[in-house]
Amino acid sequence: MSEEFKIEIVNPEKSFLVKDDVSEVVVPAYEGEMGILKDHISIISFLKPGIIKILSKSGDESYYIEDGIVEFKSNNLSILTSSIFNIADMDKSKQQDLLKQAEEESGKEEISDQSRYLIDQKIEVLKTLN
Partner 1 sequence: MASLDDLKKRIASVKSTQKITKAMKMVAAAKLRKAQESAEKGRPYSEKMNNVILNLLNGISDKENAPKLLLGTGDDKVHLCVVMTSDRGLCGGFNSNIIKKAKNYFSKILSDGKELKIITVGSKGNDQLKRMYGDKIIENISFKESKNANYFDADKVGKIVIDKFENSEFDICTIFYNQFKNVITQIPQAQQIIPLNSEDSEDNTSEESYEFEPDKDEILSNLLPKNISTQIFKAMLENSASEQGSRMSAMDNATRNAGEMVDKLTIQYNRSRQAAITKELIEIISGAESL
Residues near partner 1 (CB under 8 A) are 8, 10-15, 29-31, 34, 41-46, 69, 71, 73-74, 78, 80, 82
Residue 76 or 86: the one with the smaller Cβ distance to partner 1 is 76
Q: Closest approach of Cβ 26 to partner 1, in Å? A: 15
Q: Closest approach of Cβ 83 to partner 1, in Å? A: 9
Are the C-beta atoms of 3 and 21 separated by less than 8 Å? Answer: no
Measured CA to CA, the distance from residue 130 to residue 84 in angstroms comes to 17
Q: Closest approach of Cβ 115 to partner 1, in Å? A: 11
Q: CA of 91: how far to CAs of 88, 95, 104, in Å? A: 8, 7, 20
Are the C-beta atoms of 45 and 113 separated by less than 8 Å? Answer: no
Are the C-beta atoms of 37 and 108 separated by less than 8 Å? Answer: no
Residue 41 or 88: the one with the smaller Cβ distance to partner 1 is 41
Residue 2 or 15: the one with the smaller Cβ distance to partner 1 is 15
Q: Closest approach of Cβ 119 to partner 1, in Å? A: 15
| Best CA proximity match to 46, nearest among 25, 24, 31 | 31
Residue 46 or 85: the one with the smaller Cβ distance to partner 1 is 46
